[in-house]
């Protein structure tokens, strides 16, 4: 069975090309069905990012802002990064087990792209 996180706060650690941690980002963790369902709905901004786990797709219906979406595999390696404007339905990613959402443009600033390894530091079940 894969990782399971509890709802709460933590950090997203982005690893650079050399495998060393290069950046730490504030992270909200949505591990329960209720928290995943709510996600970023109704918000105008987010400080950092939110992890939805387990998840392999997202939508932006009723969202107020465009977002960056990073799909992660079970080893927390980025499979794909997409920018989605409000009112879109993202296609499910077959290998994705977790999704990280942030304000549009944030993933590029953090150096998160296909193949990047991340780490989640936060409450675990």
Sheet holding 78-84, edge to edge: 78-84, 67-72, 98-103, 49-52, 21-30, 8-15, 118-121
Most trustworthy range by pLDDT among 20-24, 35-39, 68-72: 68-72
Q: Which pLDDT score is estimated for 1?
A: 41
CA-wise closest residue to 91 among 63, 115, 60, 45: 60
- What is the rounded CA–CA span in Å between residue 39 and residue 116? 23
Token digits for 118? Answer: 């991340």
Q: What integer is the mean pLDDT of 36-54?
A: 90
Window from 10-19, 55-64, 100-109 with minimum mean pLDDT: 10-19
Cα–Cα dist 55/96, whole Å = 7
């Amino acid at each position: 069975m894969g990782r399971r996180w509890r709802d709460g706060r933590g950090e997203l650690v982005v690893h650079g090309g050399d495998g060393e941690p290069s950046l730490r980002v504030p992270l909200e963790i949505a591990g329960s069905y209720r928290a995943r369902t709510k996600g970023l709905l109704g918000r105008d901004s987010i400080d950092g990012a939110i992890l939805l786990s387990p998840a392999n797709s997202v939508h932006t219906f009723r969202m107020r802002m465009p977002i960056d979406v990073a799909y992660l595999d079970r080893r927390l390696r980025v499979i794909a990064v997409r920018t989605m404007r409000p009112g879109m339905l993202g296609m499910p990613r077959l290998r994705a087990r977790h999704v990280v959402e942030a304000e549009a443009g944030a993933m590029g600033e953090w150096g998160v792209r296909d193949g990047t390894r991340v780490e989640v530091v936060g409450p675990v079940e």
